[in-house]
Amino acid sequence: MTFDRGLSIGLFFFSTLALYFSITMPTTAIRQTVGPQLFPMGIALCLMAASVALFFRTMRVAEDRAGAGELPEGVEREDRATQAAMLAGVALYIFLLEPLGYIVATGLLCIYEAFVFDPSHRLRNILSGAAFSVGVYAIFVNVLDILLPKGILGW
């Protein structure tokens, strides 16, 4: 079993568990059209769909590799290094979200992840990461009335 196929199976079980917890989430006493379980359910369903797509993609890639030979030397090692760098960024983000706040931590994560993929476009990476974090924060706080960690900016 390849790493990607194992990851897709593990992600499917994780998203199934997340879906179960979001369905059994306690509801509020206030009657609402859209309850608090909508976003967790949506995320869990998207994760399930992504895991199924990854599973079938790995099957297709395995067939393509068998027909066309293996990848050039070092390509898979580079992919693993990129995945490890991205995972390290997300792990650091988890610890920095509360003390730094949503805008700063998410902006730094987006900028870092963009540099992992394409370090040659510095200005674009910085502007898009900053714009994304401020835009999502504005939507969640002003439109959806969802509080996010304020952190060092105090917004």
Question: What proportion of the chain, given as a percentage, has pLDDT over 90?
Answer: 0
Q: What is the pLDDT of residues 55-88, one digit of tens each?
A: 888 877 666 665 555 555 555 556 777 788 888 8
Q: What is the pLDDT of residues 4-43, one digit of tens each?
A: 778 888 888 888 998 888 888 777 676 666 666 777 888 8
Average pLDDT estimate for 107-133: 86
Average pLDDT estimate for 42-47: 84
Element containing residue 69 per DSSP (H, E): none
> Which residues lie below 8 Å from residue 68, measured CB to CB, with a gap of 6+?
none
pLDDT at 76: 58
Q: What does the chain come to in residues?
A: 155
Kindly report the three-state secondary structure assignment for every residue of 126-153: HHHHHHHHHHHHHHHHHHCCCCCCCCCC
> Which residues lie below 8 Å from residue 61, measured CB to CB, with a gap of 6+?
4
For residues 130 and 107, the answer to whether their CB atoms sit within 8 Å is yes
Question: If pLDDT is split at 50, 70 and 90, which confidence band does 144 have?
Answer: confident
pLDDT at 24: 83
Residue 112 is encoded by which pair of tokens?
């870092």
> Which residues lie below 8 Å from residue 101, measured CB to CB, with a gap of 6+?
148, 149, 150, 151, 152, 153, 154, 155
pLDDT at 93 over 60: yes
pLDDT at 64: 61
